[in-house]
Structure 1
């Protein structure tokens, strides 16, 4: 994977690391329509941001992550694919199970929530190359009877770095850190 600059530290508002300071901020001015400004204010209120700037930083960070994901098919990712299944569609459950088994290298886990007598919400946790994960999601969402399919991708960087002072074995697993 080609090296790319990491997101500014100011994007990370949730934990004390990389907190925005005057020294590492770049001031930008934006103009918003009245309706969009009102929606931003509602978002600030609902998510309990301290300021519009914090909300805009998070929104930009989320948008950049989506953009990087779309541009990088070979990068590793973890993802959540969620969709609604209509069990009245003949053989759909079997097709989905076969598709998941055929891609067992990507499927980490799955869960089903029964919504009513005919519909279930399914959530599949995936990990692997972004291109393969996206292709799997596209194939599954294309099945007749699968609706409201949504894929949430997070780019990750493999490695064994951590803050634990004791040396320990990884026994075949690898650490996947979010790519910032």
Structure 2
């Protein structure tokens, strides 16, 4: 049975009870200590949030904000143009990007995106599978940005 009580940070919290094997509880306590959580509740809440986010990402209709992080070989002919063209093709979802020159011919690019999760995954997949991209990762959060220009078009 759940119990609700006031919480200064978010208004109220609901207290629940869970059962788990002793070994799992010991691993949880080790993780709580190792990652610096204040309590088991905070750690479990973070894990539940991560799972709910993944669930929303898989459903695909929620608008989310996130980043696409790419590591690629900048010496591959035409790759940077292909990446720029993909960003232009998805101008409604791509908010901003930043690239950093790394050692050798490597480049890291971080692209801030917002839109339906399935659309963002499609953009990340299109970028990550280009020849010369070493690795690509989409990281989403269950949040959205306010409109960039609330007054509408200029």
TM-score bin (small chain): 0.7 to 0.9
Offset at 1:53? 2.9
Using the alignment, how far apart are the partners of 1:158 and 1:124 within structure 2? 14
Q: Which structure 2 residues correspond to residues 47-58 of structure 1 after superposition, within 5 A?
A: 47-58=35-46
Structure 1 residue runs of 5 or longer lacking an equivalent are: 1-8, 161-168, 174-180
How many aligned positions are there?
A: 148
Using the alignment, how far apart are the partners of 1:157 and 1:119 within structure 2? 31
Using the alignment, how far apart are the partners of 1:147 and 1:33 within structure 2? 39
Equivalent residues of 2:65, 2:141 under 8 A apart: yes
Structure 2 residue runs of 5 or longer lacking an equivalent are: none
Give the aligned partner of residue 143 of structure 1. 130
TM-score, normalised via structure 1 length: 0.69
Q: Which structure 2 residues correspond to residues 76-91 of structure 1 after superposition, within 5 A?
A: 76-91=63-78
Matched, 1:17 2:5: no
Q: Deviations over 1:29-82 (max 9, x none)?
A: 123756x944x44532343212223212211111111112211x2221111110
Matched, 1:74 2:67: no
Offset at 1:16? 0.7
Which runs of at least 4 in structure 1 moved beyond 6 Å after TM superposition? 157-160
Structure with higher strand content: 2
Equivalent residues of 2:65, 2:144 under 8 A apart: no
TM-score, normalised via structure 2 length: 0.79
